[in-house]
Amino acid sequence: MKTVYFDSAATTQVRQEVVDSMQKVLTECYGNPSSTHAFGRSAKTIIETTRKTIAKQLNALPQEIIFTSGGTEADNMILRCAVRDANVTTIITSPIEHHAVLHTVEELRNEYDVTVEFVKLQDCGTPDYEDLERLLTANDERKLVSLMHVNNEIGNILDIKKVATLCKSNNALFHSDTVQSIGHFEWDVQDVPIDFMTAAAHKFHGPKGIGFAFIRKNSNLKPLIFGGSQERGFRAGTEPVHNIKGLETAFVLAYQNLDEERAYVQELKDYFKEALKFAIPNVKFNGNCDDKVKSTYTLINVCLPMSPEKALTLQFQLDLKGIACSKGSACQSGSGKGSHVLMHILNEEDQQKPSVRFSFSKFNTKEEIDYVVSVLQEFVG
């Protein structure tokens, strides 16, 4: 059976170079990085070299990079510590954030009695920047804004510099879940006055279980996990050196090949979009998916014209045909619940139709797109 993987927004295929670099560490550099002997020093060097590599690319300081198990831990850590340590009493976010943010914010509201404000959304799902400014200037409470850079379901791109500047001018902290954009977009944290960012290696062809947080210096955040003195005392626990090396290899290759691979993936998305329009004339594109400037090149979210009854079997039929994609967010695909993102941006009629996210990478081809479009056309027809 032919198989097609169009679910890179959920997780990406690991590059062979990443596998090779991790295997070398696992077999040759297996010392504990906290040990003072040669084996430990070699492992420690790998960690600190990776930290410097990331910091240089982001135009950050090495001490501002903290390794975590991934985006979810990093989001949790930053939000909780900001409330606990930085006197934040109001969190401003949007109703279509990743659940790593939304569920954490809800817990903080229950635990610390913080005020939670949700910024209004434009029809396409992009936050209303005027409403954000209104919320920022409403009172003198210490505020933290948490808005993702690239929405993981519909691909909308936040004007991150605009939001960061708004926050800075109103003495508010700014956290962004950048899991879908690190490795896919250039960053300069000196140009964009952001306080906190998060990343996960498996979103840019690295291993699962490793990521990092950018925490700007002098943020006054204290550790959430206690134990040893790893990560400059900010996150205790023996570091997974092989995963950190895999993260570095994937990160370096992502930015070395960024222009070439971005152009290739953008071409795939454009080709897929036009092929769908031709094959299924009534197809709709959710969010800003039809806009090259306001939507990421890595994914497309489509609303297919079919009855709710027929829609129930779509995911099953696609799987039978060997096509991997996501109905809603992959992180909740096993829950049986509808997408909270689409619920906020689609009208009632379109909510009854199936919406599917297809996400692409350098490993995909136009031939695969032709196959997927033919399967969709046959099923819809």
Is it the case that residue 333 has pLDDT exceeding 80? no
Is the confidence at residue 307, as pLDDT, over 90? Answer: no
Residue 135 and residue 115: Cα distance in Å, rounded?
Answer: 12
Question: Which residues are the active-site residues?
Answer: 331
In the predicted structure, residue 330 carries a pLDDT above the cut 50: no
pLDDT value, residue 328: 59
Sorted by where each starts, the structural domains of the chain and their CATH numbers stand as 4-12+258-380 (3.90.1150.10), 16-256 (3.40.640.10)
Q: H-type helices in 13-139, by residue range? A: 16-28, 38-58, 71-85, 99-112, 129-136
Per-residue pLDDT at 331 exceeds 90: no
Residues 95-124: what's their mean pLDDT? 97
pTM of the model: 0.95
Report pLDDT digits (tens) over 126-155. Answer: 999 999 999 999 999 999 999 999 999 999
Q: Which residues pair with 173 in a beta bridge?
A: 144
Predicted confidence at residue 271, as pLDDT, reads 98
pLDDT of 336 reads: 56
Name the residue among 79, 90, 193 with its Cα closest to residue 140: 90
Mean pLDDT of all residues belonging to the chain: 95
| Token pair belonging to 152 | 């993981």
| Residue with the larger pLDDT of the pair 169 and 334 | 169
pLDDT digits (tens, 9 = 90+) for 178-233: 999 999 999 999 999 999 999 999 999 999 999 999 999 999 999 999 999 999 89
